[in-house]
Amino acid sequence: MPTVLTPGGIELAYETVGSPADPALLMVMGYGAQLIAWPRGFSEMLAAGGRFVIEFDNRDSGLSSKLDGVEVEMDALLAAARAGDRARVAELAPYTLSDLATDAAALLDALGIDRAHVLGASMGAMIAQQMAIERPERLLSLVSMMSTTGEPEFGAPSPQALEALLTPSPAERAAYIESSGAKGMIWASRRYGDRTRLEALAAAGYDRCFYPQGVSRQLAAILATGSRADGLRALDVPTLVIHGLDDTLIAPDGGERTAELIPGARLLLVEDMGHDRPEALWPLLVDAILGHTGGDESMDPLAHEQRGGSFGGPSIRPVEAGDG
pLDDT of 300 reads: 59
Q: Are strands 116-121 and 52-56 parallel, antiparallel or unpaired?
A: unpaired
- Rounded Cα gap, residues 225 and 260, in angstroms: 20
pLDDT tens across 17-60, in order?
Answer: 999 999 999 999 999 999 999 999 999 999 999 999 999 999 99
Q: Which domain holds residue 48?
A: 3-155+214-320
The rounded distance, in Å, linking the Cα atoms of 136 and 139 is 6
- pLDDT of 320 > 80? The answer is no
Give the separation between CA 320 and CA 301, rounded to whole angstroms: 14
Active site residue 247: yes
- Residue at 273 is within a domain: yes
Identify whether 228 is part of a domain: yes
Maximum distance among all Cα pairs of the chain, rounded to whole angstroms: 56
Does residue 208 fall inside a structural domain? no
Taking only the tens place, the pLDDT of each residue in 253-274 is 999 999 999 999 999 999 999 9
Question: Do the beta carbons of residue 264 and residue 234 sit within 8 Å?
Answer: no
Does residue 233 belong to any structural domain of this protein?
Answer: yes
Residue 43 a catalytic site member: no
Look up 65 and say whether it is catalytic: no
Which segments of the chain are extended strands (E)? 3-5, 11-17, 24-28, 52-56, 116-121, 139-145, 239-244, 266-270, 316-320
- Give me the number of domains the chain comprises: 1
pLDDT at 94: 96
Per annotation, catalytic residue among 65, 122, 147, 216: 122
Q: Name the CA radius of gyration of the chain, rounded.
A: 18
Sign of CA dihedral 176, 179, 183, 188: positive
pLDDT at 295: 66
How big is the CA angle at 287 (ends 284 and 291), to the nearest 5 degrees?
145
Estimate to the nearest angstrom the gap between the alpha carbon of 174 and the chain centroid: 27
Is residue 246 pLDDT above 90, yes or no? yes
| Domain membership flag for residue 183 | no
pLDDT at 304 over 70: no
Assign 295 to helix, strand or coil: coil
List, in order, residues 6 or more apart from 162 with CB less than 8 Å away. Answer: none
Which residue among the candidates 275, 276, 287, 292 is catalytic per the annotation? Answer: 275
Write the burial class of residue 316 (CB in 10 Å: 0-12 exposed, 13-18 middle, 19+ buried): buried
- In this structure, the strands spanning 239-244 and 266-270 are parallel
Residue 174 belongs to a domain: no
- Which amino acid does the sequence have at 182? A
- Of the residues 247, 272, 276, 287, which is catalytic? 247
CATH code of the domain in which 98 resides: 3.40.50.1820
